[in-house]
Amino acid sequence: MTQQETLSVVVNGEEQYSVWPADRPLPSGWRATGFTGDRAACLAHIDEVWVDMRPLSVREAS
């Protein structure tokens, strides 16, 4: 993977975020958020939107 590769920000059912190569099919259980860019842009976006890193099931139980 190169720094120039276009990545997608993805999220799973527990609302945990990650980056994934935009040209590859998503793994089961993950969906695209619609944000794409280089690694730095994607990580900056995740930093803005993922404010509570606890999995959704843990947040809902509290």
| pLDDT given at position 55 | 85
Residues 7-62 pLDDT 10s: 999 999 999 999 999 999 999 999 999 999 999 999 999 999 999 988 888 888 87
| pLDDT given at position 32 | 98
CA 12 to chain centre: 8
Planar angle of CA 6, 32, 26, nearest 5 degrees: 80
| pLDDT given at position 53 | 86
> Model's pTM, two decimal places?
0.85
Tally Cβ neighbours within 10 Å of residue 44: 12
At residue 3 the predicted structure's pLDDT band, cuts being 50, 70 and 90, is low
